[in-house]
Amino acid sequence: MAIFYKLLRILILLAISAIVLRFFIMSIIFHPYKQIEWTPNRSGYDYENVILVTSDGVKIHAWYINCEDSRGTVLFFHGNAGNLSHRGDSIRIFNSLGMSVFIVSYRGYGESEGSPSIKGVNIDALTAWSWLITERKIPPEKILVFGRSLGGAVAVELMRTARPKAAILESTFSSLADMGGFLSPIANLLVGGAWNSALTAADIDTPTLCIHSPGDEVVPYRLGKRLYEALAGEKYFLDITGDHNYGFLLSSPEYEKRLDEFFTKYYGTR
């Protein structure tokens, strides 16, 4: 009996340790920010404030920024920090290139309810896609899925079931476990293989533009390349310069030129 109780204590300690480690990993993955610091009307955009209700009953906040005579709609998944109000520069770029934008704050971010989790954020993404299709009546061939950083993993996961005309994955990673470096096996065990984008990419034939900077100090360039190489469909790669958060701005006008070429190829001229 003494051995039994000793083993039981060890198992309980291991279980508690796993829960603590998983909570620690989630706190690293998600950095939500609640305050809205910018709204599209401040820049003169025509936009709709949208509240979505997910399949598990969480209300999430989104904006639909309309572009007159748009050639398509960008379904925008942001990174792990801030909220939708911190993506004004990208909204400006997409809008100037003739694309409407639908951007969502994940649960726990901005004015969205709840707390972020991998499963929950995936549900949020599917809810956003469904709203565009069913409520806005936008056909899949007029939708482009865009994901930056963590949003790239969200976009890839969504494309397990959704089939947009094209996708852009910017400054993102091959898998969540790969981001753990030498701790990858432990990270993989704790997150259950979630957001293994490189594995999922082998079944995705959506035309995709991958964008990454060799100078990215947050998501290693090699992980962006690994994801690109895993994609099964038509694919393109754009090297940009600069850091993780501002490389796309530092790389203009080439960045915007390549986006325009990609949009023109799949969504027609402006």
**b/e code 43-78 from CB counts within 10 Å (16+ = b):** eebebeebebebeeebebbbbbbebeebbbbbbbbb
DSSP element (H, E) containing 56: none
Q: For the CA atoms of 176, 182, 184, 185, what is the dihedral angle to 10 degrees?
A: 180
Specify burial of residue 231 (Cβ count, 10 A radius: 0-12, 13-18, 19+). Answer: buried
Residue range 17-30, pLDDT digits in tens: 444 444 445 556 89
CA 96 to chain centroid, in Å, comes to: 21
pTM beyond 0.85, yes or no = yes
> Which of the two residues, 178 and 172, has the higher pLDDT score?
172
Which residue would you say has higher pLDDT here, 27 or 61? 61
**What does the pLDDT read at residue 13?**
45
Statement: residue 11 has pLDDT above 80: no
The amino acid that residue 134 corresponds to is T
What is the pLDDT, as a whole number, of residue 91? 98
So what's the pLDDT on residue 10? 54
pLDDT digits (tens, 9 = 90+) for 243-265: 999 999 999 999 999 999 999 99
**pLDDT tens digit sequence for 212-239:** 999 999 999 999 999 999 999 999 999 9
Is the separation of the CB atoms in 113 and 60 below 8 Å? yes
Residue 135: predicted pLDDT: 96
- Give 181's pLDDT tier (boundaries 50, 70, 90): low
What domains can be seen in the chain, in order of their start residue?
2-267 (3.40.50.1820)
Is the preceding peptide bond at 164 cis, omega within 30 degrees of 0?
A: no
